[in-house]
A and B are shown apart, each in its own frame.
Chain A
Amino acid sequence: MVIIMTMEKTILICEDSIEGVFSGIYEAYARKYVHSQTSLQIGATENYELFAEYKQIAAEEEKAKKVSRTIIREFGEETYLTFCEALATQDLEKGNAIYHVLVDGLRTKNNRIMENFAVADVNKVFELCRYTKNEIQHLKGFLRFQELEKGVLFARIGPRNNILTFLAPHFADRLPNENFIIYDDTRNLCVVHPCQKEWFLMSADNLQEEETRNYSQVEVAYQELFTFFCQKIGIRERKNIALQTQMLPLHFQKYMSEFNDKVYK
């Protein structure tokens, strides 16, 4: 009698974070899984596949760091950043795509793996990274600070991707003398930048809603001035609201002071 051994699939379940995914990749190598039979999955599933072995992988800083170092050493900072940006999306395939790009790159010793656009996973990672990059680029412009009492600048955003840590360096460089807070209200996280100090990320559990509405005396006046400016600067003969909305989608407008009273449409 011949026993046919079917190679079993292994599915590694990781936490939805850079650390989580990199720990998964670390384990895939450490436990010597056959990469073509292994996939990485973010969070638990509802539909379990038959003939697949599921392993829960815990996020561990040390392991993640080792993977980060390998990525930077083999493929450079830029690819590393690309991976981090892809991981900031909510896409559930992101971890698996990165894992297989990495496997492919290490196997073929190709240090320019992200240029091989003909590979589906490379394209996937690239698309995800671009999605994040676009949102970062948008919010660098669309984010609005409001001055609270005591001069603290407070911005509320509702980004689709987890981009606070990508935005923070930009604003810290731009406004080193300001105390500012950027609050992601979908993830309940915030970045805090004290004047002339390093910024840090923290949970926003202690943020009081009323406090964020406690504007300084001049705040409303500047909001009005800017709204007024936006009205004046548009050319009536070229009015094109569809284009305005295409360039500045409503989910951003919701958070922008100049659109709050919809006066300038």
Chain B
Amino acid sequence: MDIKITQGMTIKEKLGILSDAAKYDVACTSSGVDRKGDGKGIGNATAGGICHSFAADGRCISLLKILFTNECIYDCKYCLNRKSNDVPRASFTPDEVCELTMEFYRRNYIEGLFLSSGILYSPNYTMELIYQTIYQLRTRHNFQGYIHVKAIPGADATLIQKTGMLADRMSVNLELPTAEGLRTLAPNKHRKNILAPMRQIQTGITESRHDLMIYQHAPKFVPAGQSTQMIIGATPESDYQIMAVAENLYQKFDLKRVFYSAFVHVNEDKDLPALPGGPPLLREHRLYQADWLLRFYGFKAEELLNEEKPNFNILLDPKCDWALRHLEYFPMEINRIDYQMMLRIPGIGVKSAQRIVKARRMAKLDFSDLKRIGVVLKRALYFITCNGRMMYQTRIEEDYITRNLLNIKEKLPFQTNGMTYKQLSLFDDKNFDAEPTIIDSQQAAMGQL
């Protein structure tokens, strides 16, 4: 296999160029699959994922996140690697990627590999290289750690299928929330070419699950599920449009995660917004909060936003914001309200709600119990009663509560790379030791817990 130029570059130089080029990809969790080692090879995986380090931007480092090559035949306007940019180019060989992965993994630097790539020659050529690399890792090196690879839009379905049998997670980047945005900023990409592999992976996952029910040892296709990401703030979509797209992806494509990436201005181009305030981090943060509400709290996009109110409140998180606009539901009686509704109370997260449901089977709960359970009372107190009583005499009145909630300073970490516990803490759930499992969220959705 011949690979362009990079002879004479050291592995360090390549790593520098190709990790630098991969850093804007935010989907770097190592979660979604539990796998024990087989006792012969190397590696295992845990469903919650593991953070191995944190970069200076506060984002978790979990996988060796690199591009295979930053050569690219396309010219997406937001991307540093676009064809028309004059930047240093490099390509790894499959052996080099294997060596780095194995040596980093043994030293416990990483949970596995995240391999993306610019388009070298053609989508097929690139996908084949990615496939070869992870084939080597899984077979020759007997690597059982986590592998996340990109499916390259436009590559043959058989290649994507083969790759999916070896990877834990696959993702196809939506890039921009709407087809129109894509047309302006990524002229070589087409919405339908992006959705086609997404659909294929979805079908593959469903079939594989079905096979597993019949034959216990059927090989697994993309067992940690599929994710995608979109760039926020490069094109003029509203938060409502973005959330509607995300909801659609969760429902129609069974995506495991949608990631939002605040646009970082790297190229001068008349079609790109200037963003003098830097990347829109607060907006990205609100989108992650809302995403969390969709996945684990049983909210629907149109409950949070609508045509008249298409963007999130800058001052309040989307859950508080919803509660304030729906005071007719409050106060809720903690000893009676069902789990599903409880999740809508500001200051109560998934874990606290689960603990409340368990604990109230044994005794009637009062405010001190809630405190011990991890409910953030300073937020929840406006919305709940215990045994018919509110914590203090308070008015249930939008202005009054809003003022009080705004006095509680919201923690804004701007750490939104998708690592789980941080996001739970956004909802003041002190019990952020684990991501709610899929089962939890399904049960949450059906109000079973």
Contacts and interface: CB of A to CB of B under 8 A. Distances in A.
Contacts of B44: 173-174
B19 A118 contact: no
9 contacts: A117-B372, A120-B372, A153-B106, A178-B106, A225-B15, A238-B262, A238-B281, A243-B413, A247-B58
Instruction: Give the top 4 A-B pairs by smallest Cβ distance, nearest first.
Output: A243-B58, A234-B55, A115-B358, A238-B57
Interface in B36-73: 36-37, 39-44, 46, 48, 50-62, 64-65
A115 B362 contact: yes
Contact of B24 (A225, A226, A235, A246): A235
A232 B15 contact: yes
Interface string B163-204: 000000000000000000000000000000000000000000
Given A238-B58, A240-B414, 14 more contacts: A117-B358, A137-B50, A147-B106, A174-B44, A176-B37, A176-B41, A225-B12, A225-B104, A230-B55, A233-B23, A243-B415, A247-B51, A247-B58, A256-B53
A16 interface: no
A123 interface: yes
Chain A contact residues: helix, strand, loop or mixed: helix
Contact of B415 (A115, A226, A247, A264): A247
A204 B106 CA distance: 23
A233 B63 CA distance: 11
Nearest to A143: B108
B100 interface: yes
A116 interface: yes
B16 interface: yes
B54 A145 contact: no
Interface of B: 11-12, 15-16, 19-20, 22-24, 36-37, 39-44, 46, 48, 50-62, 64-65, 100, 103-104, 106-109, 111, 145, 262, 264-265, 278-279, 281, 355, 358-359, 361-363, 365, 369, 372-373, 413-415, 422, 431, 433
A248 interface: yes
Contacts of B52: 141-142
A145 B59 CA distance: 22
Q: Which of B40, B56, B265, B414 has the most CB of A within 10 A?
A: B56
Given A228-B12, A240-B57, A173 B36 contact: yes
A156 interface: no
Contact of A235 (B23, B42, B361): B23
A237 B279 contact: yes
- Chain B interface SS verdict (over half): loop
A118 B41 CA distance: 46
Contact of B50 (A141, A173, A226, A228): A141
B415 A118 contact: no
A234 B415 CA distance: 12
Contacts of A176: 37, 39-42
A220 to B, nearest CB: 12
Interface size class of A (residues with CB under 8 A): 35 or more
Contacts of B111: 141
Given A141-B51, A237-B278, A244 B57 contact: yes
A115 B15 contact: no
Contacts of B59: 234-235, 238
A248 B422 CA distance: 12
Given A176-B39, A237-B278, A247-B415, A222 B107 contact: yes
Of residues A130, A171, A232, which shows the largest number of chain B Cβ atoms within 10 Å of its Cβ?
Answer: A232
Contacts of B41: 176-177
Nearest to B37: A173
A188 to B, nearest CB: 22
B355 A233 contact: no
Contact of B104 (A153, A173, A224, A226): A226
A201 B422 CA distance: 34
Contact of A117 (B55, B106, B359): B359
Contacts of A145: 106-108
A117 B355 contact: yes
B61 A233 contact: yes
Interface in A108-138: 110, 112, 115-118, 120, 123, 130, 133-134, 137
A242 B414 CA distance: 11
A134 B433 contact: yes
Contact of B369 (A118, A178, A233): A118
Contacts of B36: 173
B12 A137 contact: no
B23 A140 contact: no
B56 A239 contact: yes
B385 to A, nearest CB: 17
Contacts of B281: 238
A117 B421 CA distance: 22
A228 B53 contact: no
